[in-house]
Chains A and B, each alone.
Chain A
Amino acid sequence: MTVELDSTIGRMIRRRGAYANSSTKFKVGSCIGALLVLLAAGNQLFGSAGEVDIASKRLPPLTDGHLLGTDHLGRDLLSRLLASMGWSFSIALLAAVISLTIGTTVGVLAASSTKIGRTILTRYIDLSISFPELILAVTIIAVIGRGFLPLTLTLGFVSWPHLARVVYAQTLGLWTREFVLAAKLSGVRPMRIILSHILPGLRNTLLVMFAFIFADLLVAESGLSFLGIGALLGDPSLGNMLADGRRFIFSSSLLMLLPCIAVILAVTSANLIGDGLSSRSKNATR
Chain B
Amino acid sequence: MTLHSEKLSPPPATSGVRWWGNSFVRVILGRVGQLAVLLWGVSTLLFFLLRFAGDPALIMAGDNATSEFVDEIRVQYGLDRPLFVQYFFFLWHAAKLDFGYSLASGLPSLDLVLAQLPWTIKLSGLAIMLNLLVAIPLGAWLGQAPERRTRNAVSSLVFILQGTPGFVTGLLLIQFFAVKLGLFPSIGSEGTLSWVLPTLTLTAFLAPRLTRVLASNVAEAMQTDFVRTARAAGASESQVLVRHALPNALLGTAALAGSQLSYLLSGAIITETIFAWPGLGLLLIDSVRTLDFPVVQASVFVVACFVFFVNTSVEMLFRILDPRLKQRTK
Q: Does B16 contact A (CB under 8 A)?
A: no
Q: What residues of chain A lie closer than 8 Å to B296, measured between beta carbons? A: 139, 142
Q: Does A133 contact B (CB under 8 A)?
A: yes
Q: What residues of chain B lie closer than 8 Å to A219, measured between beta carbons? A: 165
Q: Please count the residue pairs between chain A and chain B whose beta carbons lie under 8 angstroms apart in the complex.
A: 125
Q: In the complex, what distance in Å separates the CA atom of A129 from the CA atom of B255?
A: 12
Q: Which of A17, A127, A132, A268 has the most CB of B within 10 A?
A: A132
Q: Interface stretch among B88-96, B156-164, B194-202, B319-327?
A: B156-164
Q: What residues of chain B lie closer than 8 Å to A133, measured between beta carbons? A: 262, 266
Q: In the complex, what distance in Å separates the CA atom of A23 from the CA atom of B262?
A: 32
Return the chain B residue nearest A242 by Cβ: B171
Taking a contact as CB atoms under 8 Å apart, the answer to whether B34 and A139 are in contact is no
Taking a contact as CB atoms under 8 Å apart, the answer to whether B288 and A139 are in contact is yes
Taking a contact as CB atoms under 8 Å apart, the answer to whether B37 and A130 are in contact is no
Q: Does B46 contact A (CB under 8 A)?
A: yes
- Taking the closest CB of chain A, its distance from the CB of B293, in whole angstroms, is 8
Q: Does B70 contact A (CB under 8 A)?
A: no
Q: Interface stretch among B172-180, B233-241, B243-251?
A: B172-180
Q: In the complex, what distance in Å separates the CA atom of A219 from the CA atom of B161?
A: 13
Q: Does A246 contact B (CB under 8 A)?
A: yes
Return the chain B residue nearest A270 by Cβ: B163
Q: In the complex, what distance in Å separates the CA atom of A245 from the CA atom of B38?
A: 39
Q: What residues of chain A lie closer than 8 Å to B18, measured between beta carbons? A: none
Q: Does A85 contact B (CB under 8 A)?
A: no
Return the chain B residue nearest A141 by Cβ: B288
Q: Does A249 contact B (CB under 8 A)?
A: yes
Return the chain A residue nearest B35 by Cβ: A127
Q: In the complex, what distance in Å separates the CA atom of A46 from the CA atom of B171?
A: 32
Q: Does A38 contact B (CB under 8 A)?
A: no
In B131-147, which residues have CB < 8 Å from any A CB? 147
The 3 closest A-B pairs by CB, nearest first: A268-B163, A134-B266, A142-B288
Given contact pairs A17-B147, A141-B288, A264-B168, enumerate 10 new A-B contacts (beta carbons under 8 Å): A127-B41, A133-B266, A135-B265, A135-B299, A215-B163, A223-B266, A242-B168, A260-B171, A268-B163, A270-B163
Q: Give me 23 A-to-B residue pairs in the complex whose CB atoms sit less than 8 angstroms apart, sorted by A's number.
A: A7-B223, A127-B38, A127-B41, A129-B262, A131-B303, A132-B261, A132-B303, A134-B266, A134-B269, A135-B269, A142-B288, A222-B165, A226-B270, A228-B289, A229-B288, A242-B167, A246-B174, A249-B174, A249-B186, A253-B179, A264-B164, A267-B163, A267-B164
